[in-house]
């Protein structure tokens, strides 16, 4: 059935953007669409809690043709929609990939929930977790699955740091030590060099994904996930003894 399989040419890099409400997920997505528009064809799925506000914001930002931005309604359970029951999101991503094939990257914005919500690897290939300095310098230290193990942690709105009395360098250092060396980037939409660093991270991720060398790492327990190959890719799951996410793939 066409509905249940990833067809080779239409499989994109699926990149989740999670993090608490207001930390800047929609802004990061708008930024990526604006900056990477010419290199990649992109699509966006938003997961709103009460409305399609995020989808509307992104459409009005004019960063993508508006039909490539779609909203999934999560029935006030944004964490369920990206973790325990990803079916609605999965179908939305696949529809987008099919309708605008070939898409290089589909960005999925989680409905801002709390610090514990992370994407299932059955839904995305990689995920960014967004914090902001306004939430306080000690949030990064407190950890949690998203902060500790997302593929990338963003410390956003660093232009506001002085107003909220946060030491950005310290916050980034705390985040790094909570993450065992996984990448952390400080970001402000007002500082072009930080925006460029984020874009470069996405470029490298996309390159790794296309070559089939990117392995989804799951902040939570491992679930079936996808590997791109020349023939399109395949999905597989891991045996219980193989949950480190650091096994070799070919």
Partner 1 sequence: MTPNAALLLLADGRLPAGGYAHSGGFEPTARLQGLNDAAALEDFLEGRVTTSGFVAAAFAAAACAAAHAGNIGRLGQLDPELDARMPSPAVRAVSRALGRQLLRVITRIHPHPVLATLDPHAHQPTVFGAAAASFDLSPQDAALAVLHETITGPASAAVKVLSLDPYEVHSALARLTGLLDELAVRAAAHALDDPDQLPADASPLLDIAAEHHRSWDVRLFAS
Ligand X SMILES: Nc1nc2c(ncn2[C@@H]2O[C@H](COP(=O)(O)OP(=O)(O)O)[C@@H](O)[C@H]2O)c(=O)[nH]1
> Given the rule CB under 6 A, which of 3-11, 14-22, 59-67, 215-223 is the region that contacts ligand X?
14-22
> Given the rule CB under 6 A, which of 1-9, 58-66, 69-77, 187-195 is the region that contacts ligand X?
187-195
Task: Print the binding letters for residues 156-175 with ligand X: x by CB under 6 A, - otherwise.
Answer: xx-xx---------------
Segment holding 114, helix H or strand E? none
List the structure tokens of 29: 């997505």
Residue 19 in contact with residue 129, Cβ under 8 Å?
yes
Residue number with CB closer to ligand X (79 or 157):
157
Among 26, 47, 127, 215, binds ligand X (CB under 6 A): 26
3 binds partner 1, rule: CB under 8 A? yes
| Cα dist from 4 to 68, 92, 122, whole Å | 21, 12, 13
Closest-CA residue to 116 (of 150, 74, 76): 150
List the structure tokens of 77: 């359970």
Among 34, 40, 66, 77, binds partner 1 (CB under 8 A): 77
4 binds partner 1, rule: CB under 8 A? yes
How many CB atoms lie under 10 A from the CB of residue 163?
10
174 binds Mg ion, rule: CB under 5 A? no
1 binds partner 1, rule: CB under 8 A? yes
25 binds ligand X, rule: CB under 6 A? yes
26 binds Mg ion, rule: CB under 5 A? yes
Q: What angle do CA 203, 82, 204 make, to 5 degrees?
A: 10
> Given the rule CB under 8 A, which of 34-42, 75-83, 147-155, 198-206 is the region that contacts partner 1?
75-83
Task: Print the binding letters for residues 83-122 with partner 1: x by CB under 8 A, - otherwise.
Answer: -xxxxx-xx-------------------------------
> Given the rule CB under 6 A, which of 58-66, 68-76, 151-159, 201-209 is the region that contacts ligand X?
151-159
The residues, any chain, with a CB within 8 Å of residue 47's CB and separated by 6 or more, are: 54, 71, 72, 74, 78, 81, 82, 89, 108, 109, 110, 111
Closest-CA residue to 135 (of 108, 153, 109, 111): 153
Residue number with CB closer to ligand X (23 or 215):
23
Q: Which of positions 27-86 make contact with Mg ion (CB under 5 A)?
A: 54
Q: What angle do CA 235, 238, 242 make, to 5 degrees?
A: 145
Residue ranges of the alpha helices (H) in the chain?
Answer: 25-36, 53-60, 78-82, 87-99, 139-142, 145-149, 168-178, 192-211
171 binds partner 1, rule: CB under 8 A? no
Residue numbers of the site for ligand X (CB under 6 A)?
A: 19, 21-27, 112, 156-157, 159-160, 188-190
Residue numbers of the site for partner 1 (CB under 8 A)?
A: 1-4, 50-51, 73-77, 80-81, 84-88, 90-91
């Amino acid at each position: 059935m066409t509905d249940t399989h990833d067809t080779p040419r239409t499989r994109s890099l699926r990149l989740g953007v999670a993090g608490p409400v207001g930390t800047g997920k929609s802004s990061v997505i708008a930024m990526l669409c604006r900056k990477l528009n010419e290199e990649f064809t992109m699509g966006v799925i938003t997961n709103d809690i009460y409305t399609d506000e995020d989808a509307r914001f992104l459409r009005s930002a004019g960063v993508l043709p508006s039909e490539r931005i779609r909203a999934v309604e999560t029935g006030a359970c944004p964490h369920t929609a990206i973790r325990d029951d990803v079916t609605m999101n999965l179908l939305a991503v696949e529809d987008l990939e099919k309708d605008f094939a070939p898409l290089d990257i589909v960005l999925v914005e989680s409905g801002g929930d709390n610090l514990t919500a992370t994407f299932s690897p059955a839904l995305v290939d990689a995920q960014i977790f967004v914090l902001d300095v306004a939430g306080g310098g000690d949030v990064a230290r407190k950890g949690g699955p998203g902060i500790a193990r997302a593929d990338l942690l963003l410390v956003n709105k660093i232009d506001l740091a002085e107003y909220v009395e946060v030491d950005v360098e310290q916050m980034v250092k705390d985040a790094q030590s909570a993450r065992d060396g996984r990448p952390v980037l400080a970001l402000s939409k007002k500082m072009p060099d930080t925006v460029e660093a984020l874009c470069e991270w996405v470029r490298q991720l996309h390159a790794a994904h296309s070559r089939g060398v990117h392995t989804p790492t799951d902040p939570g327990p491992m679930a079936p996930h996808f590997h791109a190959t020349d023939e399109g890719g395949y999905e597989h799951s891991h045996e219980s003894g193989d949950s480190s996410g650091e096994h070799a793939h070919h």
